[in-house]
Amino acid sequence: MVFLLVELTDKMKYYFQYNPSGWLMMKYFLVKLPGYLFFAIPLGILMGGMLSLLLMARHSEIIAMQANGIDALSVARPVLLIGSVASLIMFVANETVIPWSNSYSEHIQNVEIAGKADTTVVKRDQIWMRSPDSITQIRKFDSSKQTLEHVSIIRWDANYNFTERIFADKAKWWEDQWVFYGINRTSRTPDGRFHVESLPSAVVPMKKSPADFGRVEKVAKDMNLTQLGDYIDKLTEEGQAPTRYLVDWHDKIAFPLVCLIMAALSVPFAVRVNPRGGGMAVGLALSLIVAFSFWIVHSMFIALGHGAYIPPIAAAWAANLIFGLTATILLLQAGT
C-alpha cells in the first residue's frame, strides 16, 4: 500500500495532463504490482517473523520451548525455511515476471497514456529512428553522461535522393544541442558529385533530446541474467567498460537472498525482547529500522559500484555480507 500510494502521488500529473481512463491507470498499477511486491516481501518476512515470535513470547510459548530444551536455533528453523523459499521465489520472479513488469509498465506510461509512440525502435543494443527525411542508427545511449556512441545518420531530399551521410564516434548533449565528435561526412553536391570530409567536432541538428532517449535506454531492470550477461559481453567486445551493468548482474543474484537474511534477523531480536514491556511496539520499530538500514547500506554500495569506486561483486554483496554475518552472530549468541 505504501508503494502504491507513493506511485499514485507521483503519477497524479498524468491524470491532469493526459486525462487517461480509470481502467488504463488501474492497468498500469496492476502491471507495476510485481515490482512493489519484490521490494515489500523482505520487509514482510522480517516483520512477520519478528511479530509472530513476539506473540509466542507474550503467551510464554518461547519460555516453554526453552524449558523443554528447544534452543533459539531450533526456533529459527521454520522461519529460515520460509526465508529460503521466499528468496527462491524472488530470484525466479526477477528472471521472469519483474523484467516484463518493468518494461510493460513503461510502455503503458509512455505510449498508451502519454501517447509518445514514434518510429524509434530498440533492437538489442541498437536504437533506430526514422523521420520523413532521414534515418538514424545509434549503438548506445548513456543517460548519466548524456552521450551517444557510434551515431550514423543518412538523409535524403523530397524525391528520396541521397543528400548526406554522417558518421560520428560519439555525440554529447551540450547547451541544448548535440555536439558530434570524430565525424566522417559524405555529402552530395548540386552537380551530383560526392564530397567526403573529416571533422574533429561539429554541431549536428537532431530533434531528440536526452529525455527522449531516456525511455529507450537499455536498462538492467528490464533484462534477466542471461540477457544482461549477453549485453555485458557485447559491450566488452566493443571495448566499452560495462561496470554499471556488471554491478546490476551481481545484484540480481545477491538481492533475492535478503529474504533469508531478514528471516534470520527476526529471530534473535524477537527472542531477546521483553514482550510484556512494549515488546510488540519495539519489535515493529526494530523491523522498520533493520529493513531501512539494509536498504540504505545496499543502495550506498550499489552507487559506489556504479561509480567504479569498488569492484562490482563487492558492491552487490557487501550489504548481504554485513547483515548476514550480523544475523549469524546474533543467532549463535541467542542459542547459547
DSSP assignment of 39-87, as one string?
Answer: HHHHHHHHHHHHHHHHHHHHTTHHHHHHHTT--HHHHHHHHHHHHHHHH
How many C-alpha atoms does 260 have within 13 Å on its Cβ side? 18
- Whether residue 39 is contained in a domain is answered as yes
- Whether residue 12 is contained in a domain is answered as no
For residues 90 and 135, state if they share a domain.
no
pLDDT at position 123 is 45
- Whether residue 114 is contained in a domain is answered as no
pLDDT (tens digit per residue) in 117-165 = 544 444 445 777 777 788 888 888 877 778 888 899 999 888 888 899 9
- Whether residue 2 is contained in a domain is answered as no
* Lowest-pLDDT choice from 91-100, 108-117, 277-286, 323-332: 277-286
Supply the range of the domain harboring residue 126: 119-214
Is 201 in a helix, a strand, or coil?
strand
pLDDT at position 300 is 95
How many C-alpha atoms does 236 have within 13 Å on its Cβ side? 10
Number of domains in the chain: 2
- Distance separating alpha carbons of residues 154 and 136, to the nearest angstrom: 7
Question: Cell for 79?
Answer: 522461519
- Whether residue 330 is contained in a domain is answered as yes
pLDDT-derived band of residue 316, with 50, 70 and 90 as boundaries?
A: very high
- Whether residue 239 is contained in a domain is answered as yes
Asked whether the predicted pLDDT for residue 252 surpasses 90, the reply is: yes
Asked whether the predicted pLDDT for residue 261 surpasses 90, the reply is: yes
pLDDT (tens digit per residue) in 83-109 = 999 999 999 999 999 988 888 888 888
Give the mean model confidence (pLDDT) for residues 196-214.
Answer: 82
Domain boundary among 214, 246, 272: 214
pLDDT at position 276 is 55
- Whether residue 294 is contained in a domain is answered as yes
For residues 139 and 281, state if they share a domain.
no
pLDDT at position 318 is 96
Number of H helices, E strands in the chain: 12, 7
- Whether residue 136 is contained in a domain is answered as yes
CA R_g for the chain: 27
- What is the pTM (predicted TM-score) of this model? 0.68
Pick the most confident of 19-23, 123-127, 185-189: 185-189
